[in-house]
Amino acid sequence: MQHILALPVSITSLASFSPLGNSPDLVWQSYLDDTTRIRTIGFGNKAALGAPLTEDVKRQVKTLRETESRYASLDDSVLYAIIASRQAVAAAGWQSGDDFGINIGSSRGATGLFEKYYSELINTGATATQASPTTTLGNIASWVAQDLKSSGPDISHSITCSTALHAVLNGVAWLGSGMAQKFLVGGSEAPLTPFTIAQMQAMKIYASKESDYPCLAMDLTKKSNSMVLGEGAAAACLVPGRVPNALGYIEGVGYATEALKHSVSISANAECLQKSMQMAITGINPAEVDAVVMHAPGTVKGDLSEYNAVKAVFGESLPLLTTNKWKTGHTFGASGLLSLELGLMMIQHNRFIDVPYLAPQKQTKDIKKVLVNAVGFGGNAVSILISR
């Protein structure tokens, strides 16, 4: 696998747009404090927990929508992706019109617009001309390509919560094949909408109680599900090989899908994650992995099954384990790349970011290699091994 994919691949930039802010300094400073970004917000005529964008970041979205008329009718998920992609490409030194591929996905796509247009249909029997082109899933990558004037392929996809890391897999594969020399990958999600929240509540996985930490991701003692949604986007620029001044390197990738017992199930020991992690660390001693950024959505079964999978792969000598869902909420299709961003930052700053309500873990050595997990509905998992 390693030779086929021509690893390593260099990550030359990574930009995010989330409840933590929209610059590397803001994001890192956010990780250094122990407060969550989750709070109670309004959804139509109801209130529920969520992790919204900061006011500064929201103003960026508003400005983009108002100053460029062609973007006025686009869903927030598309605008988030455009802003994150612009930042990533600028940081990498790529130019408008360059030949690079794009793969930016979303678990749900234009949910806000879909709800708006469907409501219009129910109330009036008709809908707007733009209802179809602005709610297709391909809308995200294609608009990013239009905005950046790239001349390479543009691909959108949905593989639920592992969407962003599947984009990384695709970028690695395109680079390894020689069909592209540069690839922009990412995920974007704007799920803080009434229908989306109602769906999560109907599944009985959503947190309902306000507290210092409404989402108890990775807390294996919790008695009830505590998933909370957040919104945001992230994009990364990839090139083949090991180039100087890269933020980090992709040294291994893994993926797997397990058989389902029902549509949202995962096995007790997360067999798909075991396989994806084992594939990603092929060729190295597991003890070389210094930390794992877990998917850990905050559900009772999801968190425990992933922990069991980590134990199955690493034995009793576990790496440091962390997650960011307690702080950012679950950003669905964007979450994997936000987790990868956390992993990169821990490597760059040589500082482990712990989960504040759990027993502290002591960092006893430099953080050089981090494994990042994502898993989604459909029993699919992705693991990415990154290093500096």
In which band, very low, low, confident or very high, does the pLDDT at 218 lie, cut at 50, 70 and 90? very high
- Residue ending a domain, among 204, 223, 240, is 240
Q: Identify the band that residue 265 occupies on the pLDDT scale cut at 50, 70 and 90.
A: low
Q: How many domains does the chain have?
A: 2
Same domain (yes/no): 268, 285: yes
Q: Which of 25-34, 252-261, 325-334 has the lowest mean pLDDT?
A: 252-261
To the question of pTM greater than 0.75 for the whole model, the response is yes
Q: Distance (Å, rounded) from C-alpha 19 to C-alpha 348?
A: 21
2 in a structural domain: no
258 with 214, same domain: the answer is no
* 379 confidence band (pLDDT: 50, 70, 90): confident
Same domain, 53 and 185: yes
Contact 279, 256 (CB under 8 A): yes
* Tokens representing residue 42 in the block: 């309004």
Q: Answer for the pair 347, 248: CB distance below 8 angstroms, yes or no.
A: yes
Q: Which residues of 136-173 are buried (b: 16+ CB within 10 A; e: fewer)?
A: ebebbbbbbbebbebebbbbbbbbbbbbbbbbbbbbbb
Structural domain harbouring 307: 248-387
Q: What is the mean pLDDT of residues 83-109?
A: 96
Q: For 177, which DSSP code?
A: H
Q: Which of 1, 27, 46, 8 is nearest to 234 (CA)?
A: 27
Q: Which of 185, 212, 240 is the last residue of a domain?
A: 240
Residue 149 one-letter amino acid: K
Q: How many CB atoms lie within 10 A of CB 237?
A: 27
Question: Is 59 within a domain?
Answer: yes
Q: Is residue 257 part of a domain?
A: yes
Is 263 part of a structural domain of the chain?
yes
Same domain, 189 and 52: yes
Q: What percent of the chain has pLDDT over 70?
A: 97
What's the confidence (pLDDT) of residue 227? 98
pLDDT (mean) for 296-302: 96
Does residue 299 sit in helix, strand or coil?
A: coil
Average pLDDT for 122-135: 93
CA–CA separation, 109 vs 48, rounded Å? 21
Tell me: the pLDDT tens digits for 325-374?
999 999 999 999 999 999 999 999 999 999 999 999 999 999 999 999 99
Give the DSSP letter of residue 206.
B
**Average pLDDT for residues 114-118, to the nearest whole number?**
95
Bridge partners of residue 206, in order along the sequence: 227
In this predicted structure, the answer to whether residue 93 has a pLDDT above a threshold of 90 is yes
Q: How far is CA 267 from CA 22, 217, 222, in A?
A: 36, 18, 19
Within this chain, do residues 29 and 149 fall inside the same structural domain, yes or no?
A: yes
Look at strands 101-105 and 183-189 and give their pairing: parallel
Per-residue model confidence (pLDDT) at position 263: 53
Looking at the domain assignment, is residue 191 inside a domain?
yes
How far is Cα 225 from Cα 363, in angstroms, rounded to an integer?
29
With a cut of 70, say whether residue 3 has pLDDT above it. no
Whether residue 4 is contained in a domain is answered as no
Verify that 185 and 277 share a domain, yes or no. no
Q: Is residue 46 part of a domain?
A: yes
- Tell me: do 189 and 270 sit in the same domain: no
206 within a domain of the structure (yes/no): yes
Cα R_g (the chain), whole angstroms: 20
Domain at 136, CATH number = 3.40.47.10
Please indicate, yes or no, whether residues 81 and 192 belong to a single structural domain of this protein. Answer: yes
Q: Give the integer Cα–Cα distance in Å for 205 and 224.
A: 8
Residues 81 and 140 in one domain: yes
Q: Are strands 248-257 and 291-293 parallel, antiparallel or unpaired?
A: unpaired
**Is the same domain home to 60 and 191?**
yes
Question: Which pLDDT tens digit goes with each residue over 38-59?
Answer: 999 998 789 999 999 999 999 9
Mean pLDDT of the chain: 95
Per-residue pLDDT band for 2 (boundaries 50, 70, 90) equals very low
Pick from 212, 240, 268: which residue ends a domain?
240
Please tell me whether residues 198 and 273 are part of one structural domain: no
Is residue 236 located within the same domain as residue 252?
A: no
Give the C-alpha separation, 46 to 27, whole Å: 30
